[in-house]
């Protein structure tokens, strides 16, 4: 308890999934949290969850691809809580999916705007405020898709690889300011962006993912929240520029072939060109 006592955190994409789990965990560890998302209903619910976990929280509707809105988000943290110690650039979409030659330029650009530009903007506007308080922690959600290839996820893989290397270059630049920069590379985490409120889909994904890696259970948002807490806390004060893989061992040895039939069943009912925010269905 109190691992983040007195600290202020901004978390994007915190209306559901990994961001929401992290917001609740941070609040329970003493942080004041600014929850950012386009999903107003979910964001306000996350605020209630944080307060029920004995924390302080406010919601700011934010499009992370828009610089003015990210700037306003950071300003909200300062206005409400007086400082900024942590930013977790977590907001994401599935983006353009399918064969590379079928991806439109518009869908490619929309993917990069949220998945990569949003991380850049979060870093850009958080750093000046972190300098004022003598340092901080920048965390971003990358993916195992940023360190290996996945067929049909070209835009996502490219953006997440960008997050990994942006993390490294930013860590070099801001080390002198005592600002640590790290990212998390989740594997298969069962979140709303995957099951998208399709009846029975959450259970199908739960069973399918459990067969795909050495640790034979599905990843959950709390698994990522635990890593985010470590990176946000002083426990990781000597850790920077790292891509922390949290994947149940998937990248060391996939067992996905055994579940290929289940995987095909999942793909059959997913969108076939672009996956937007989870709350949009």
C-beta atoms surrounding 203 within 10 Å: 11
Nearest to 61 by CA among 132, 12, 107: 12
Q: Which of 88, 156, 230, 256 is catalytic?
A: 156
**What pairing do the DSSP bridges indicate for beta strands 179-186 and 243-246?**
parallel
CB-based contacts of 190, cutoff 8 Å, min separation 6: 202, 205, 206, 209, 218, 219, 220
Instruction: Please say if 156 is a catalytic residue.
Output: yes
In the block, tokens 């306000």 appear at 44
CA atoms within 13 A on the CB side of 108: 10
CB-based contacts of 74, cutoff 8 Å, min separation 6: 10, 84, 87, 125, 126, 129
Catalytic residues: 156
């Amino acid at each position: 308890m109190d691992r983040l006592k007195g600290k202020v955190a901004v978390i994007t994409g915190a209306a559901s999934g990994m961001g929401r789990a992290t917001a609740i965990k941070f609040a329970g560890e003493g942080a004041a949290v600014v929850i950012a998302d386009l999903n107003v209903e979910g964001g306000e619910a996350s605020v209630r969850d944080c307060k029920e976990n004995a924390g302080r929280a406010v919601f700011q509707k934010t499009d992370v691809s828009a610089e003015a809105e990210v700037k306003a988000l950071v300003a909200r943290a300062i206005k409400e809580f007086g400082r900024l110690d942590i930013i977790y650039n977590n907001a994401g979409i599935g983006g353009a999916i399918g064969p590379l030659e079928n991806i439109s330029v518009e869908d490619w650009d929309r993917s990069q705007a949220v998945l990569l530009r949003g991380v850049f903007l979060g870093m850009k506007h958080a750093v000046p405020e972190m300098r004022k308080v003598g340092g901080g922690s920048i965390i971003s959600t990358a993916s195992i898709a940023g360190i290996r290839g996945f067929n049909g996820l070209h835009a996502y893989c490219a953006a997440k690889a960008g997050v990994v290397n942006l993390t490294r270059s930013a860590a070099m630049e801001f080390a002198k300011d005592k600002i640590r920069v790290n990212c998390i590379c989740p594997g298969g985490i069962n979140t709303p962006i995957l099951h998208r409120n399709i009846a029975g889909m959450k259970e199908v994904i739960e069973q399918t993912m459990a067969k795909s890696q050495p640790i034979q259970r599905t990843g959950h948002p709390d698994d990522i929240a635990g890593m985010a807490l470590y990176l946000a806390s002083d426990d990781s004060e000597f850790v920077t520029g790292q891509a922390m893989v949290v994947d149940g061992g998937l990248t060391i040895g996939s067992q996905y072939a055994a579940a290929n039939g289940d995987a095909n069943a999942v793909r059959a009912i997913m969108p076939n060109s672009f996956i937007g925010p989870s709350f949009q269905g």
